[in-house]
Amino acid sequence: MNPTSEVFLKDIWDRIMEIYFKESQRIRDLKNHSKLQAGIMNYVRVAWRKGKTNWEQGRLHIDVYEPFSWSDDSYKFEAGEYIEELTDEQLTEEVFPALCERVDQLFRSEELGPRFFDYRFEVVFEFERDQSIITLHRNLFNEAKLQQLRQSLENFIQTKILSELPVLPKEHDMFFFAQHLINPDMMKQEKAVIEPLIGRLSDKLNISQKRKNEWIRQYTSAFNTWAKEQFLPQHFDSSGDYGFDWILKEEKDRRSVDEGELDFFLYVALKVGFTEPETRKKYLDLAVKLGSQRAANYLKVGSGKFESVLRSERVECSNNDVTQLIEVRILSEEVATYGEALNYIINLLRKGFPKSYSLKLKSSQKHFLPLKKLAKSKLHQFFANALTYPALFPKIAEYADVVMEEYAWYGDVEPGEKSVMPGTYAVMGLGLYSESYFSLVCRYMELVDTEHQMVQDDYAEAFIEAHGLTEENLPVLVTILLGGNEEGKYVKNATIDDPELAGALVDVLKEKKDYERELVLYRLFKSADKLAGTARKAKPPLKEQLEQLLALWKQ
């Protein structure tokens, strides 16, 4: 090897090992190591970046993690004047092969610890001059380590996924499991292989909605990674902000479509669509550009699992289970019309149509419930219209019974403060318009996700406005208050100024837990000091009842 090449290689290697020794100590100190991770390091890039005025006055850049296109976290070092003596031939035929040989030897050893290197490793070398750049790369592979990882994955599937409850995987293992689902070295990229594993773990995690949501987020992220980094770049060029737009390549520049990969891409689109409907549509549109008739059918009529169209003299209805959309066109504004539409929707739901659907409505009537926080969506409008017909109340209640589901959300608005659990518009309307459905309101409030849904906070005031506050409906109001967000606001029109009403509240709260009493009393009286002040000013027997409420608050 040329002496100049040797000096440059030594500089590179000394810098790499300096970084690696620090990284190895950090990795040794990591806790909660997963057996589903062969190792951490899988990339190194060595680059000479030219100087601003001339290329010889640049610096050596080393990346030990694959960098993002929009960031620069490289380790940067100076180099000697020998740089200007290096030729392209020396770099290509001497420096880079020797660098790869050293990396490969280290990669296959355990000098830096067994958890340092992954089973695969990429070496990238770049050298910039004023008018040119050399770019070289090589992939290294440790077959023995891959086989060990495959065995660990198989053991994990058998003991943690396919096993019966109460056995569950550790939380940090689920991330790596999701990554292996889209790794062709570890698993076939086929729905028939992957979906049963996702479904099995999802079913087991029904006992913890928080962990189930995290699992959905992890495999959704993994599927998006596969789509954006492995499948789409073969056929499209990324463009737009952050590369989120995709433009079909010229035919001569793109790979022929592999039908198996395209089928898996459609599966990915549907799985991602559970929480990212816009991404699902984008993926299906891209699949159509690749000639997928199945994607076109998904967008037009859905999967074909459900009878798609209903036409009568009064109403026209259609659905698409893939895009999770129901369309209703009201031809005649009358009770029978909304009855037909409700029957259509209920039958779809009973057959398994997604409860997180959205609704497209064409109607000359535009009613909404008297609740400020509810989004004025087409779905809201449909149920507010239907609620103008008391004869339909039993049918609307039947719908609510079918559609209510904890930790699910309608797709009628963008995810956020106005997102609501399926059945919200029906239940809240029935609760305002008829005492016959107070029990349904209570079931809803006991089911609703108080941590993530907020719109029900205003319901207590609307309920009192509609029915007043009585001893008979006080237990319902308490349930409504407990169904509010954990930071639910003070209810301005809830006046407890009657001894019988205050006594009824005492009786209801005696059966509640301490934190529930505190929440209810806060929402009714705003603070313990205000309740104490009200009690001091009250006359017997109201005074005694308010003092009992204060005592319950302070327990």
- pLDDT given at position 507: 94
**Segment 428-450 mean pLDDT:** 97
Instruction: Tell me the three state secondary structure of residue 378.
Output: helix
Tens-place pLDDT, residues 223-270: 999 999 999 999 999 886 655 789 999 988 888 999 999 999 999 999
Tens-place pLDDT, residues 322-351: 999 999 999 999 999 999 999 999 999 999
Q: Residue 125 corresponds to which amino acid?
A: F
Closest CA to 349 of 412, 399, 413: 399
Q: Residue 241 corresponds to which amino acid?
A: D
Closest CA to 528 of 514, 518, 539: 518
Query: What does 362-374 look like in DSSP terms, one character per residue?
Result: E-S-----S-TTS
Instruction: Tell me the three state secondary structure of residue 328.
Output: strand
Tens-place pLDDT, residues 13-29: 999 999 999 999 999 99
- pTM of the predicted protein model: 0.84
Tens-place pLDDT, residues 28-51: 998 888 999 999 999 999 999 998
C-alpha 512/C-alpha 552 separation (Å) is 10
Radius of gyration of the chain, Cα coordinates, nearest whole angstrom: 32
- pLDDT given at position 71: 64
- pLDDT given at position 242: 58
- pLDDT given at position 492: 93
| Per-residue buried b or exposed e for 385-397, using 16+ beta carbons within 10 Å of the residue's own CB | bbbebeebbebbb
Torsion angle of the four alpha carbons 235, 239, 241, 244, in this order, in degrees rounded to the nearest 10 = -20
Residue 88 exposed, middle or buried by CB count within 10 Å (0-12, 13-18, 19+): exposed
Q: Residue 369 corresponds to which amino acid?
A: L
Instruction: Tell me the three state secondary structure of residue 60.
Output: strand
**Segment 412-420 mean pLDDT:** 91
Q: Does a cis peptide bond (omega within 30 degrees of 0) precede residue 370?
A: no
All residues at 6 or more sequence positions from 29 whose CB lies less than 8 Å from its CB, including other chains: none
Closest CA to 61 of 51, 70, 84: 51
Tens-place pLDDT, residues 122-163: 999 999 998 899 999 999 999 999 999 999 999 999 999 999
The Cα-based distances of 54 to 74, 88, 188, 292 in angstroms read 21, 17, 50, 51
The Cα-based distances of 483 to 380, 519, 521, 523 in angstroms read 20, 10, 14, 12
**Segment 204-219 mean pLDDT:** 93
- pLDDT given at position 244: 73
pLDDT tier at 202, thresholds 50, 70, 90: very high
All residues at 6 or more sequence positions from 453 whose CB lies less than 8 Å from its CB, including other chains: 419, 420, 421, 485
Mean pLDDT of the chain: 94
Tens-place pLDDT, residues 291-327: 999 999 999 999 989 987 999 999 999 999 999 999 9
C-alpha 15/C-alpha 75 separation (Å) is 9
Are the C-beta atoms of 425 and 372 separated by less than 8 Å? no
Percent composition of the chain: helix, strand, coil (DSSP 3-state, to 5): 55, 10, 35
Residue 416 predicted with pLDDT over 90: no
- pLDDT given at position 54: 85
All residues at 6 or more sequence positions from 516 whose CB lies less than 8 Å from its CB, including other chains: 482, 509
- pLDDT given at position 241: 61
- pLDDT given at position 438: 98
Tens-place pLDDT, residues 514-555: 999 999 999 999 989 999 999 898 889 999 999 999 888 876
- pLDDT given at position 331: 98
**Segment 472-480 mean pLDDT:** 96
Tens-place pLDDT, residues 47-95: 999 988 888 889 999 999 998 766 678 999 998 888 999 999 999 999 9
Are the C-beta atoms of 204 and 157 separated by less than 8 Å? no
Token couple for 304: 């074909």
C-alpha 324/C-alpha 270 separation (Å) is 11
Domain-wise residue ranges, the chain: 3-141, 146-300, 305-444, 450-555
